[in-house]
Structure 1
Amino acid sequence: MSNNSKQWSSANPGYIIFLIDQSGSMGEDYTGGKNKAEFTSLVINRTINDLIFTNSAGDKIKDRVFISLIGYGGKGGNSVDDIRSDYLSAFADSPLRIEKIKKKVSDGAGGLVEIEEEMAMYVEPTCPRNGLTPMAEALDFAKQLIEGWITKKPDNPAPVIINVSDGMPYTGSNPIDDIEKTISTANSIMNINTGDGNPLIFNVHLGQPPFNETKFSSTENEVSDEEGKILFKISSKVPETYREAARKHEFVTDVDSRGFVSNAGPETLIKFINFGSSGGTDRII
């Protein structure tokens, strides 16, 4: 069995599932006047736009990847919401809306100039105050999606889950049960066998300033906080095929590194999502 080395292609598309924490705490300030929910949705929207651009040939979008956007807590309580599941071309054809985004670019003389660019939006930020963190339930839904996908497409690249959260799994009941259920559900996903190895789970835990980041740890001892330790436990080891992508985004990895960042600041969040959604190295045909 190969180890997460199959190339994404139109014939054998990859599959990325974004699990997006939309609990009440995602309303906390994060960066540049944006809260965690707003910045996270901006990064995911930009990533989808980048994937569309990368997979464009003239006017045609090559469907080399299928994307599911799954929110949890965003409709209040323990909701798990299939926001959208589509091939790239369908995302490109029908965004929710187009937004003007301010962006700083080089002025060619060593300075920066602010420009406005239009960006297609596919997921809206939401973080209702009564939104809890049903992470195990979101993972269980992702597991069902993966099982359905590999039944239909057994020869495709192994699916990748990218989970963005700022806290512990919590459903309002027993926190220890929530944690155990989250870990066991994640393990059951990481033990699914496909022709390309096991599905991958990468986790990014959003921090608070001054962002005491821990990146791609090899052991749980390197992680200082409880939320981080739980997410470390449910993160896949970075396959060899993804280590070049990690290096491109200035992450240092070794053979035991997990695809996980704790207390991530804004720049690290952007780089981590680019790494996780890269299909490993740029192995796109």
Structure 2
Amino acid sequence: MYEQEISRRNPGCFLFLLDQSYSMGAPISGSPAPKSSALATMINELLYAIVLECTKDFQELPRHYFDVGVIGYSGTGVRPLLPGTSRRRALVPVHQYAGTGRLVEHSHTLRRPDGTVVEERATAPEWIAPLNSGMTPMCAALGMAHKVLRGWVKQHRSSFPPIVLNITDGEATDGDPRSEAQRITRLTTADGAALLFNLHLSEAKGESIPFPVVPPPGVPQAALLFEMSSALPGTLVQASGYGDRIRPGARGFVFNGGAASLMDFLRIGTSTTSLIGEH
């Protein structure tokens, strides 16, 4: 299980669920940036990285190795965020979103070996804008994800199972999300069950708990998200290059995560990009 090569005949699927509630406006641990901004930045970088992984020839469109969707949930409701998507069509092939990002100029300082500091500027596409507003309708977001993926697995019976990455900083305000999570992980292809990974973002400087084998003690919210999370398949762990840091049986779950944990979580959760074949 979880060994199917990614190809145009059997594409993979990534679906990102982004908490955009009011509390996401607070700074993320390990950075002065608001959680909403840090999350949007890393998701945009990841979306661009997926485009590059699917590009074999820059004279051609990216190949259809993945269907990708981004769903935001906040006080304004639950809605797909990628350009060209809608409630009826929340997933699109990589080549359909690749050219729709708004080009934004970024600058950062670079210290040279001689000690001088220079500012470098570069442009990169931006598909997702930061937002932090209202409540946290996580159950509704998971419900939409189930509806979207139910159709996808029917059409892609031989594909690597879809991967859902849910990133939140709090508790669902519309009920207990476990039942909706179970509906997702009961969806299957011939290669295994759909995978649901969860990251709890924090503004505190407390210790992060990445990819535990047992639920963190004494924290009900951590236990709930742990229960919702799929075990990490060995193929993903090895493909990500984190094999020496993750124990067998670990869940795809991070609690009290900061900026560094978010980066690791996204890298591991999307490591099926390394399973792309030549087809």
Do these two structures clear the TM 0.5 threshold for a shared fold by scoring above it? yes
Q: Using the alignment, how far apart are the partners of 2:157 and 2:18 within structure 1?
A: 26
Q: What's 2:230 paired with? A: 236
Conserved in 2, the CA contact under 8 Å of 1:74 and 1:126? no
Asked if residue 277 in structure 1 is aligned to residue 270 in structure 2, the reply is yes
Q: Give the CA deviation at 1:144.
A: 0.7
1:175 is matched with none
Paired residue total: 266
- Does the 8 Å CA contact 2:153/2:188 hold for their aligned counterparts? no
Residue from 268, 274, 277 that aligns with 2:261? 268
Q: 1:114, CA displacement in angstroms?
A: 4.0
Gaps of 5+ in 1: 172-177
Root mean square deviation of aligned Cα: 2.0
Describe the shift of the 1:118–1:82 C-alpha distance in structure 2 as closer, same or farther (beyond 3 A): same
Q: Please report how far the alpha carbon of residue 166 of structure 1 lies from its aligned counterpart in structure 2 after TM superposition.
A: 0.2
1:147-189 deviations in Å (ceiling 9; x for gaps): 1111222122100000000011113xxxxxx12xx11111121
- Contact 1:215 1:251 (C-alpha < 8 Å) held by counterparts: no
Find the partner of 1:161 among 161, 164, 167.
164
Report if the CA contact (8 A) 1:98-1:120 is conserved. Answer: yes
| Contact kept in structure 1, 2:237 and 2:243, CA below 8 Å | no
Structure 2 unmatched runs, 5+: 83-90
Q: CA distance change for structure 1 residues 94 and 253 in 2, over 3 Å: closer, same or farther?
A: same
Q: Whole-Å Cα distance in 1 between the matches of residues 236 and 115 of structure 2?
A: 33
1:21 and 1:102, CA in 2 relative to 1: closer, same or farther beyond 3 A?
same
Matched residue type, 1:284: I
1:203 aligns with 2:198: yes
The alpha-carbon deviation at position 104 of structure 1 amounts to 5.0
Match of 1:93 among 99, 120, 127: 99
Q: Identity of paired residues, percent?
A: 26
1:115 aligned to 2:120? yes
Tell me the SS of whatever aligns to 1:57.
coil
1:40, distance to aligned residue in structure 2 (A): 0.3
1:24 and 1:127 in contact (8 A); partners too: yes
Q: Which residue of 1 aligns with 2:85?
A: none
Task: Tell me the amino acid that sits aligned with residue 167 of structure 2.
Answer: V
Where does structure 1 differ by over 3 angstroms across 4 or more consecutive aligned residues?
Answer: 103-114
| Deviation per residue, 1:93-129 (Å, 9 max, x gap) | 211x11112245573568875422211011111112x
**Gap change, CA 1:93 and 1:184, over 3 Å in 2:** same
Query: Quick one: distance in 1 between partners of 2:267 and 2:154?
Result: 27
Match of 2:35 in 1: 36
2:188 to 181, 187, 193: 193
What is residue 207 of structure 2 aligned with on the other side? 212
User: 1: CA distance between counterparts of 2:197 and 2:117?
Assistant: 33
Query: Following the alignment from structure 1 to structure 2, what is the Cα–Cα distance between the partners of residues 116 and 243?
Result: 34
